Each structure stands twice: as C-alpha cells, then as structure tokens.
A and B are shown apart, each in its own frame.
Chain A
C-alpha cells in the first residue's frame, strides 16, 4: 500500500467548548505508527497519547526510533515510508538539538521567524525577556554562547504559544552546568505556558526531573511506561527516585554496577583469557 505519509498527519479538530469527547481531549494521539527506512523497520506499531499540558519524556537507546517518532509528530518525514494515524494540535513547536538559528538573522529576527501577527515583534521581545535574554535582540547568533543560543530557540518555540512542544534532545549539546540551568528554565516556561510536551532524551535523570510520564521505546515499540510522581521527580522521595532510575536503566539495557563494591578500574591482569 503506497500511502503518502504526509497525508496521514492531520490536525486535530478545533476544541469546541464542553462538547469535546474523551478522545479529542488528548493533545496528541498516535495509533499503529509504522515507519521504515529501506527494509529496516524503525517504528513497528507505536501507540501513544499525550494529554493537554502533560510532559512526556521519550527514552530509548540510540537508533530505537525516538527521533523518527518526534519527526513524524512534527510532520517532517515527507519521504519516509509508513502507515498509522497521527493527530496533533494546530500549534506545534519544535526545539532541535542544535539551536538552529539562522546565522544571517538577528536574535530578534530568529524569534519572529514565521510569525504573522501585527504584534509579533513585541511578543518576541517578551519571549526573549522570559528566557533571560532581554537586551540581546540585536545580537547575531554567533555572538551568543551555546546555552544562550538554545534559550533563543526556546523563545522562538514558545512565542507561538504551542499546544504541543516537541523537543529533540534539546540540551544534549550543552555542558552539564548549563543543562541543569536549562532544566529549571524549561520547567518554569512549561508551567507558565502549559503546552503538552514530548521530550526526546537519552538522559534518564533529565527524564525523571522533568517529565510527568516516561515512555521507553525499544526496537520501534513502546516497551515501558512509568508515571513520575512529583516527589520522585524532585528527589524528595529519594528511595523512589533511585528505584525508578534503576528500573529505567534496566529497561534501557544498562545493568548498574552492584552498589556494595566501589567501582575500580579493572586491571588487565585480572581479566581472564
């Protein structure tokens, strides 16, 4: 069946008052999603729902299809074979791993990109202030640090007031300290704007710290789904946090070193031949 994949991505019907059915209340609905590059199946029947305002982290080892799923939701997989039904809201924003700022446009120009409203510039200035970059509107992207560039990218996606924010390892290229600051910033922004979020990451700690629900993808299928209670997420429940962390690492195929023994580098002599 030669289905045109682009035709499978349709926007959700407008939410019309209180008459919305249970199904249309989901911000995102994915049913039986199959995607393949050549003979190799990348997604082998993925079902996923995201409620409005829900923060979902998508974990998985490299090559498990995380990014393919995100790109399908973003409508960026024109030439990929596949089938399934995807429903997403009207306003979807994407944050990529690279900040993807146009080098020939100023910071402000990058945020206003694609906005058609008459107050686009004022709103973009407010969005830049929100990510702590007021006063940098006239800068060129190359004059900013990596973390600042990614904050511009966040401002660019939030100025559109998205109902769904798709983030593909947005902090993967940042240093550890900047990443922690960006976690706080993203939490504040999401609390203020309340979009549904799908965060693709390979960082278990990042997923636990940010998400309401964690989906582990393995071999193109949903392998594990875990909800994260606020206490576990904020590490107030340290034991629960550690248990969840172990479970997720196990689901990802990482066997943690046994806790009793301090990890020492293995001596070559100790390795049996």
Chain B
C-alpha cells in the first residue's frame, strides 16, 4: 500500500468499537466547540465532590461538629428519626404541601398563559395583574394570607401555589408568543380547527417554555415550603429543623437541609427526565 499523504494534524483518540479494532483510524480533526457526548450519571459528580469535601473536613477535624455535624452523625440521626417514625411523618406532610402547591400552581399558570397567549382580551386582562404579582415578593403576602386563611394547610398550599404559578405562566406565555407565525399560517391553510390548532401547534410549541417554567416552579415550591414551615407550623421538615434550633441540635438541622437538597435534586431530575422524553424532537447542546 503506498503511503497516502496524511494531513499534518493530530488524530483523534481511537474509537472503542470492537468491530473496528486493529484498523487504522487517522483523521484530521477540527476543534470541537460543542460540549461533546452526554455521559450517563455525570451530573452526580458535583454533588459527590461536595460530599467528599464535607467528609474530609469532618474527619480531619477542620469542621467543628458544633458548627457542622459530621456526615456519619447525620446518617445516624436519620436512622434514629426513621426508627421512631418522625422523619417519614414530617417528610410526608412536607411533600404533600409541596406537591399540592406545585399541582395547583402549575395548573393555574398554564391555564392563564393559554388564555393570555391565545386572545388579546385574555392578555389585556391577565398579563398586567400577573406582572404586578411578580413584582411583589411572594413571601410578603404571607401576613395577609394568615389573616385571611389562618395558619392551617390552606394557607400553606396557597402560599406555594402563588409562588409556583408565576414562573410557569411567564415561561409558557413567552413560548406561546414566540410560536412562529409561519406555523399559524400553515394551520390555516391545512384547515385546522381552533381545537386542532391548539392541540397540534400551540401546545407542542409552548411545551419547551412550559418545562423551563416548571423547573423554576419546582425549586420555588421548596423555597416557599421552607418559609411556611418555619414561620408557623407544627409538622413538616421545616418545623423539625426549627425545633432542633431551639435545642441546638445541629445534626437534625443538617439532616433537614440534606433532605431538602435531595428532594430538590430529585424533583429537578424528574422534570428534566420528562422534558427529555417529551421534547425528543429538539436538537440542542444539551443532547
């Protein structure tokens, strides 16, 4: 075989396909500007590193247990609280509040976005008040909500709902308004009905925005939850932590934080998983 002239550029790393093992693979490579292939479970790397730092700090004594409990103490505390049932009980009530608030908030946000996005009257009526609500910090409404609804579950779920619906509305509405007018024309030329237009063009077109809003909403729901549980509650993870503060139990406080963190990560991961399945048609850097 005559030596073919080879471009003087570095070869890429040989690929791992066993069917091609032993064959030459010399190719000129341009600099890759995208982030490359997606790797499974890669998102675990950052959190694991944090956990490792924490363990190392505690083991070497750099972290005073009165400031931040050791990871193994927190694990042991989790075991104890699980054994006497307090953790599950508080977790269940917290999760119920967050999920109810998330459900109602998402529903309200999506419906308002549809109404405002599909009709000029709806936009004129809805968009202004939502923008005003957006300008008021959600937690500033708590005193009024307590006066109106007392301190029972209604007030807690409502506070979360009010925090959740704004990002869902904003992102969904923006995506709706961003649907290319060319597709609206197309829908007209193929004779789609109003319902068909909403189902085949509007909803799928707004879905990426809806998911973005939902991710903000999930995070927001946990934030609101912490506040309502630490201000006035007799149950829930936030109440458990507030009580621990009174007795100086750092380990329970850290356990509460860890639980919130895990819940936040899990819920965000769930939304992203659904998003990837629902938006298969998209080709983006996320991959």
Contacts and interface: CB of A to CB of B under 8 A. Distances in A.
B187 interface: yes
Contacts of B281: 103-105, 140-142
A74 B280 CA distance: 33
A76 B189 contact: yes
A142 B200 contact: no
Given A92-B189, A114-B192, A98 B201 contact: no
Nearest to B191: A114
**Residue with the highest number of chain B CB atoms closer than 10 Å, among A75, A100, A113, A160:** A113
Contacts of B196: 114
A93 interface: yes
A254 interface: no
Contacts of A94: 189
Nearest to B182: A100
A156 interface: yes
Interface residues on B, range: 20 to 34
A109 B183 CA distance: 14
B189 A105 contact: no
B24 interface: no
Nearest to B190: A114
Contacts of A140: 280-281
Main secondary structure of the interface of A (DSSP, over half): loop
A20 interface: no
A102 B191 contact: no
Nearest to B283: A142
A93 B189 contact: yes
**Residue with the highest number of chain B CB atoms closer than 10 Å, among A75, A104, A156:** A104
B186 interface: yes
Nearest to B201: A102
B204 interface: yes
B189 A102 contact: no
Nearest to B204: A104
A100 B186 contact: yes
Contact of B200 (A100, A103, A105, A141): A105
B192 A113 contact: yes
Interface in A138-163: 140-142, 156, 160
B283 A100 contact: no
Given A76-B188, A113-B187, A142-B281, 17 more contacts: A75-B189, A92-B189, A93-B189, A96-B182, A98-B182, A102-B201, A103-B281, A103-B282, A104-B205, A104-B279, A113-B186, A113-B192, A114-B190, A114-B192, A114-B196, A140-B280, A160-B190
25 contacts: A74-B189, A76-B185, A76-B188, A93-B189, A93-B190, A96-B186, A98-B182, A100-B185, A100-B186, A102-B204, A104-B204, A104-B207, A104-B279, A105-B200, A105-B281, A109-B200, A113-B187, A113-B190, A113-B200, A114-B196, A140-B280, A140-B281, A141-B281, A142-B281, A156-B190
Interface of A: 74-76, 92-94, 96, 98, 100, 102-105, 109, 113-114, 140-142, 156, 160
Closest 3 CB pairs of A and B: A114-B190, A104-B204, A94-B189
